[in-house]
Structure 1
Amino acid sequence: MSTYKLVCAHCRGRMRIRTSEGTHIFLRVAYVQCTNEACGWSVRAEFEMTHEMSPSGMPNPSVRLPVASVVMRRQAMKTADDQPDLLDQMEMECAK
């Protein structure tokens, strides 16, 4: 299950990936739709792998991405204030 949160720029509702296709080993094109029926905004999005945050335990010599800087790795470790972490999500589900 994906924990990546896509938010509609118009109504701030949740968005879902309807379909996607790989165009390159590091690039995926996705077609995304707002789940709020009153809004219904849909977009084309691109998800690109740009930097290696940590090395693979099973490296493929043909896979070459630049290694992320220390600043970029530290930024990736921060959590967004508006997105609960996994334990918070589990607690909210149990409370229902």
Structure 2
Amino acid sequence: MSTYKLVCPHCSGRMRIRTSEGAHIFLRIAYLQCVNEACGWSVRAEFTMTHEMSPSGMPNPSVQLPVAPVALRRQAMQSAASDDQPDLLDQLDMEAVNA
């Protein structure tokens, strides 16, 4: 399971999703709150699926999104490579070594 890295623009604290609802197959409405008690900012956000980065192994004919341009796919790969989150396989290897 992945986690979103949502940051409060006011205090740079972590934001949490309090609740969310599906508005459309490609749109999710979320209500966020800053976990910093001194800040407590809350906001409504929209998460939209805009482009297909890679095809599904179980395609649904009703899902029709444009294929992402090469530049966008390249940018996503670079972002994933620079992410400080450890790879799952690396993490399993470390657990095996420490066991």
TM-score by length of 2: 0.81
Counterpart residue number, 1:57? 57
**Alignment CA distance shift 1:83-1:35 (3 Å):** farther
2-side partners of 1:79 and 1:38: how far apart? 32
Q: Percent identity?
A: 77
Structure 1 residue ranges without an equivalent (≥5): 91-96
Structure 2 residue ranges without an equivalent (≥5): 92-99
1:17 is matched by which residue type in structure 2? I
1:84 is matched by which residue type in structure 2? D
1-side partners of 2:52 and 2:16: how far apart? 26
CA RMSD of aligned residues (A): 1.9
Partner of 1:33, secondary structure, is: strand
2-side partners of 1:20 and 1:53: how far apart? 24
Aligned residues between the structures: 88
2-side partners of 1:67 and 1:14: how far apart? 32
Counterpart residue number, 2:33? 33
TM-score by length of 1: 0.83
2-side partners of 1:79 and 1:72: how far apart? 11
2-side partners of 1:23 and 1:30: how far apart? 10
Counterpart residue number, 1:7? 7
The structural deviation recorded for 1:3 is 2.4
Rg larger in 1 or in 2? 2
Pair 1:70-2:70 in alignment: yes
Runs of 4+ in 1 over 2 A off after TM superposition: none
2-side partners of 1:75 and 1:13: how far apart? 26
Cα deviation, 1:3-28, whole Å, max 9, x if unaligned, reads 22000000000000000000000000
